[in-house]
Amino acid sequence: MADSKMNFSRRTALKVGAGAAGILAAPALMKVARAQTGGFNWKKFAGQSIEVSLTLGPRADVLRRHEKEFTDLTGIKVGSEAVPEQQHRQQVVIQFNSGNPQFDVITISWHVQKRLVGKSKWLTDMKPLLADTNLYAPEYDFPDMTAGGIRWATQADGRMDTLPLSIDPWMIYWNKELFAAKGLAFPKNFDDIVMAAEKLTDKAAGQYGWVSRGLKNANVPVWTSFMLGHDMDPVNPKTVQLQTTTPEAIAAAEYYKKLNKDFAPPGTVGFNWNESQTSFSQGKIGMWLDGIGFAPPLEDPTKSRVVGKVGYGIMPNGPKTKNSATFGDGIGIASASKKKEAAFLYCQWATGKLMASRLLQSGGGSPCRASTYSDKDVIAGLKLPREWLTCLQESTAIGRPGLPEIVPVTEFRDVFGIGLTNTIGGADARAEMVKATEQFTPILQKSEQG
């Protein structure tokens, strides 16, 4: 890694997650418990059972696959389930509001739920737990957590109500074979992307240069990926004002429209990440813009026709900056839980060094631990090509939040997502963005008051 990249990454690491080797570790301000003599007793709460609620996806997969190990280690029984994203988010609110949620541990998407959860203090503050000698396992090594991850996990009022689980930067998967056939190189900037997509599209042959999410709500990160390249955030972090009708935002929407309307397979209006993934894995798509954690099935010979042909490209330069839209997940304990201690042990295990290395190796996400990326054995055990890891590290280094940190994120995604989906059908990008902004402004204002 060149030195200049290191400096750049230092700065942006303060914003977002893990990164290249040598990244900043947790500042000394975090108080963690001293080591106990005689080693930590994981079996303190043996015999209890906890309920764990996960969002269906690569992270949940890894956790559930090794669940039995946790029970062997601690004697705590785990009842877990992985619920699809949309249902999970709805359930979360309903359950928390009942005052009696049926889970002790839950994974949270920071980019959607962080403020919602923090506002009502639905999750327990981790800081006292980390400082408790009875509960904190020294091998957990909290200072190993990256500053970015900790920042994501910490609320504005200083409570840290989750432990950092994983960061998901967005990048472009590209089909090397298709590119080579047309003598194209991986695009260097946004206009290059459009040009490549155009050259790679041959509708008669059923081949398309581009695929990305068109389904409302899920498709917003595609748009913000382009917006960030114009050095523009959807909501101004300081003034909490919408910036979605700025020329930059409209330009990003135009890119979204052009690529999805002209160069993507028919039916993308209904595509979420899994349909896009299927499409790309069939071998007739040039580029797919999405999160890096969806790579594993692409390299699985029983599922994919592009094994060994996948390129992992960092988001190219925008007109002003080079950024990768980044999102993250944390794992937390319900405030109403009656088994906080046992739940805390689970959280430590789930974000501990072993599980972090497994997460990285399986390609399911990017753990927030500095040591994972510098551990040679972990790297050697990687199930995906080295290029994937490099892309991951470099993307995180230029990471920037892809969604605004507001309370009504779901509504934001819904309102703007609809506008974006409409552009695929031919609607005018500016008109749709203006309409959506008008609709959403009062909602945002109201949420900032309450």
Partner 1 sequence: MTQAALEQKPVEEAAPERGRAFGRHYLPFAYPALAITAAVIVFPWLFTIYMSLHDWKIGQQREYVGLANFAKLATDPRFLESIGHTLYFTVLAVVLPVIFGTIAALIFNERFPLRGLLRAIFILPMMATPVAVALVWTMMFHPQLGVLNYLLSLVGLPPQLWVYEPSTVIPSLVLVEVWHWTPLVMLIVLGGLAALPAEPYESAKIDGATGWQMFRHITLPLIMPFLLVAIVIRTIDALKAFDTIYVITQGGPGTASETINIYLYLNAFSFYNIGYASAVTIVFFVLIVLLAVMLLYLRQKAKWS
Partner 2 sequence: MVVRRLLRNLGFAFAVFVIVSPAILVMLWMLSLSLKNEVDNMAFPPVFVPSPPTLNNFYDVFEKNRFDTYFINSIIVSGLATIVAILVGVPAGYGIAKAQAHKLAMLTLIARITPNLSYLIPLFILFQWIGLTGTVWPIVITHLVITLPIFIYIMIGFFESLPADLEEAALIDGCSLWQAFRYVALPLAKPGIVVGAILSIIFSWNNFIFGAVLGGRQTRTLPVAVFNMLTFEQVAWGPLAAAALLVTAPVLLLTLFIQKEIVGGLTAGGVKGG
Contacts to partner 1 by CB under 8 A:
90, 93-94, 97, 116, 119-120, 214-216, 265-270, 408, 410-411, 414, 418, 421-422, 424-425, 439, 450
User: Which of the listed partners (partner 2, partner 1, none) does 438 bind, with a CB threshold of 5 to 8 Å by partner kind?
Assistant: none
The closest of 159, 177, 60 to 118, measured between CA atoms, is 159
Least Å distance between CB 200 and partner 1?
18
First-to-last C-alpha distance (Å) of the chain: 46
Q: Crossing angle for the helix pair 220-229 and 409-424, nearest 10 degrees?
A: 90
Least Å distance between CB 110 and partner 1?
18
Least Å distance between CB 185 and partner 2?
28
Least Å distance between CB 275 and partner 1?
9
* Residues within window 42-101 making contact with partner 2, judged by CB under 8 A: 51, 53, 56-57, 79, 81, 83-87, 94-95, 98-100
CB atoms within 10 A of CB 352: 19
Least Å distance between CB 56 and partner 2?
5
Contact call for residue 267 and partner 2 (CB under 8 A): no
Least Å distance between CB 407 and partner 1?
9
Instruction: Tell me whether residue 138 or residue 297 sits nearer to partner 2 (CB atom).
Output: 297
Instruction: Tell me whether residue 51 or residue 168 sits nearer to partner 2 (CB atom).
Output: 51
User: Which of the listed partners (partner 2, partner 1, none) does 85 bind, with a CB threshold of 5 to 8 Å by partner kind?
Assistant: partner 2
| Cβ atoms of 414 and 396 closer than 8 Å | no
User: Which of the listed partners (partner 2, partner 1, none) does 266 bind, with a CB threshold of 5 to 8 Å by partner kind?
Assistant: partner 1
Region binding partner 2 by CB under 8 A among candidate stretches 224-232, 267-275, 333-341, 423-431: 267-275
Question: What tokens were used for 320?
Answer: 């002003």
Contact call for residue 272 and partner 2 (CB under 8 A): yes
User: Which of the listed partners (partner 1, partner 2, none) does 216 bind, with a CB threshold of 5 to 8 Å by partner kind?
Assistant: partner 1
93/31 Cα distance (integer angstroms)? 31
The closest of 367, 379, 331, 420 to 109, measured between CA atoms, is 331
User: Which of the listed partners (partner 1, partner 2, none) does 270 bind, with a CB threshold of 5 to 8 Å by partner kind?
Assistant: partner 1
Instruction: Tell me whether residue 29 or residue 94 sits nearer to partner 1 (CB atom).
Output: 94
Least Å distance between CB 216 and partner 1?
6
User: Which of the listed partners (partner 2, partner 1, none) does 262 bind, with a CB threshold of 5 to 8 Å by partner kind?
Assistant: none
Task: Give the interface with partner 2 as residue ranges (CB under 8 A).
Answer: 51, 53, 56-57, 79, 81, 83-87, 94-95, 98-100, 102-103, 272, 274-275, 277-278, 281-282, 297, 302-303
